[in-house]
Amino acid sequence: MKIVVDAMGGDHGPEVVIKGVIQAVNEYETEVVLVGNEPEIAEQLKKNKYAGNKIHIHPSAEVIEMHEPAATSVRRKRNSSIVVGLNLVKHQKADAFFSAGNTGAVVCAATLGLGLLPGIERPGIAIITPTLKGISIIIDVGANIDPKPSQLLQYGIMSDAYFRNILNKPDPTVGILNVGEEESKGTEFIKETYELLEKSHLNFIGNVEGKDLFSGKSDIILCDGFVGNVALKVTESVVETMMTFLKRNLLSSMLGRIGIFFLIPSFKRLKKQLDYSEHGGAPLLGVNGVVIIGHGRSNVSAIKNAVRVAKEEVERKFTEKISEAIKSQ
């Protein structure tokens, strides 16, 4: 198996990506193709004393930066690590693609390069997040900010397949993110989606609210990409704000200053538990191939985990499973 990793993607640059990849090939049965600036990659591999034969370099001349507009940059930078890397998957020279780079560009390049699965109108980004009861999928978190109800139904079907085939849970529950629990609540878009979901074969449990996002009330939570993106970024912001307030509070009292020494290990564990990037990146569902999107700030272990998730999707023939699920609806 060969997984393509965008060496140039992510806030921390090639160093962190390459460290994560080295850990991944040492730990898992897979090869990795690093796409990007060849001398830079070679230098990092040397610096990290990697001398094995499971990491390959595929050169690419350009980089799509984090804040470049997605569609334009994908069209113009045909030699970027994202476009070149996805072409390797398209031409079956590799099995999956991972990037912690410009999310919009990955979505756009994957849609254009790999195409969509039959019956899918738009791809969606699925976040796999820890909850009080286990794990939930929230989809979409930014690929499709103004979707149609039929597209949310498709996200539901694909996430259902993900739960069954990758997360090993049969019959996952599906909820739609709304401003109240009652069926009468929400915009016209929500009401139409609600009706479609009710008629589907999914295990639809109705509306869930923002407060249920991490309660584990529903295994799958559907929302438009605008709301999903805001919800995700609000979550990150609240976690960071709480940590800052807590630190300020602790440092402002004698008892707190003593307490903080006892707490450092717990804080570190908490941050890890709450950080969805630790869980291995976000699958882009609906494209014809395995594509995993990483958070820009992915650290070494997030990169490693993303390679693992990509490998699992390939091994379990997830793309075929989704196609079957869509056909049988």
Query: By the criterion CB under 8 A, which residues form the site for a second copy?
Result: 67, 69, 131-132, 142, 145-146, 177, 179, 181-182, 184, 186-188, 209-215, 223, 225-227, 229-239, 241-242, 244-246, 249-250, 253, 255-256, 258-263, 265-266, 269-270, 273-274
Strand runs labelled E in 182-304: 203-208, 220-222, 282-285, 290-293
Cα dihedral 116, 130, 277, 160 in deg (nearest 10): -10
Q: Which is nearer to a second copy, 1 or 243 (CB)?
A: 243
Q: Minimum distance between the CB of residue 44 and a second copy, rounded to whole angstroms?
A: 29
Q: Which is nearer to a second copy, 160 or 212 (CB)?
A: 212
Residue 272 neighbours by CB under 8 Å, 6+ apart: 278
What would the two tokens of residue 232 be?
A: 């995700």
What letters, b where the CB count within 10 A reaches 16 and e where it falls short, cover 21-38? bbbbbeebebbbbbbbbe
Residue 103 neighbours by CB under 8 Å, 6+ apart: 125, 142, 143, 293, 296
CA separation for the pair 97, 283 (Å, rounded): 10
Q: Which is nearer to a second copy, 182 or 195 (CB)?
A: 182
Q: Minimum distance between the CB of residue 29 and a second copy, rounded to whole angstroms?
A: 33
Q: Which is nearer to a second copy, 118 or 265 (CB)?
A: 265
Q: Minimum distance between the CB of residue 123 and a second copy, rounded to whole angstroms?
A: 16
Residue 298 neighbours by CB under 8 Å, 6+ apart: 10, 11, 12, 16, 17, 20, 100, 277, 281, 306
What would the two tokens of residue 124 be?
A: 């969606």
Q: Minimum distance between the CB of residue 254 and a second copy, rounded to whole angstroms?
A: 9
Q: Minimum distance between the CB of residue 148 and a second copy, rounded to whole angstroms?
A: 13
Give the pairing of strands 282-285 and 124-130: antiparallel
Q: Which is nearer to a second copy, 61 or 179 (CB)?
A: 179
Q: Which is nearer to a second copy, 32 or 213 (CB)?
A: 213
Q: Minimum distance between the CB of residue 294 and a second copy, rounded to whole angstroms?
A: 17
Q: Minimum distance between the CB of residue 128 and a second copy, rounded to whole angstroms?
A: 16
Least Cα distance to 154 among 214, 202, 108 occurs for: 202
Q: Which is nearer to a second copy, 79 or 249 (CB)?
A: 249
Q: Which is nearer to a second copy, 120 or 143 (CB)?
A: 143
Q: Minimum distance between the CB of residue 296 and a second copy, rounded to whole angstroms?
A: 11
Cis link prior to 140 (omega < 30° from 0)?
Answer: yes
Asked if 224 and 145 touch (Cβ cutoff 8 Å), the reply is yes
